[in-house]
Structure 1
Amino acid sequence: MSLSLPDLYFRIKENGASVFRVVTDTRQNRMDLVQIANANVRNGEIRPQGGETPTAEEEAEIRAWIETRRADLAARHLQDIDRTIDFLNLSTQWAQSKATEDDLEAVSDRLLLAMHDLRTVIVRKKADRLMKERDDG
């Protein structure tokens, strides 16, 4: 363990994190985590927990963590989309060169529906952007 611990520890949850104050007792070489808040990434809410209230400095650190986490999640989402494109290409190659009739029968309907749904949304969004550009320009 490093000698320099952070003041706060963030236990990631689906919609944010449980936030703990890192408390060290150097006399007994002990460390405790005291929950002080729950941070919600979606709405930016910070709710005190465990009878503790974050200090102004801790709240600022939590808010900075929320912004960083939002940016990380947005970047990760774009990476997931890039991987999806790769998977679609690999699936095309698989369907063309390796899939058996039974393999194709097992996945074709679900795959066609998912691709149709995706295509419909993308085309509609693209048309909306083009119409907005035309109206604004």
Structure 2
Amino acid sequence: MRLSSFSDYSLRVLMYLGVHADRLATIGEIAEAYDISANHLTKVVNHLGRLSYVETVRGKGGGIRLARPAGEIHLGELIRQTENDWALVECFVTGGNCRILPVCRLPAILDEALAAMFAVLDRYTLDDLLHHPAELGRMIPLREAGLRPVA
């Protein structure tokens, strides 16, 4: 199983905002810090805003920040809301063409594995990912003029 880049970028945005919770951040600075597309991040941030994970402040000096405390952002819930394809194999796809589906145990086993993955993810929050914010802040550099990592 592999998460989409959309989910990966969603987690990265939230981690960045969690590390730099004392100020507003911009999509441009986050894109630069992770060396990823600002256009793609714009879509991610819009989606996170619609889901109430981030809030935006418009105008000069505006930016984005977490819309709720990091301890209230559950990883399982986030991944469920940012992934759109859980078809791990062809037989999970409606209209899939598998001759052995009526007797195959693989779908049930993979369903169990997916449920186990979410059982683990549901135990963790964004706050758990931010366990060492100073170290994360050094790993996610601020490159805009005048901005410094949180120490």
Structure-1-length-normalised TM-score: 0.30
Greater percentage in strand: 1
Tell which structure's C-alpha radius of gyration is larger.
Answer: 1
Higher relative contact order (CA 8 A, sep 6+): 2
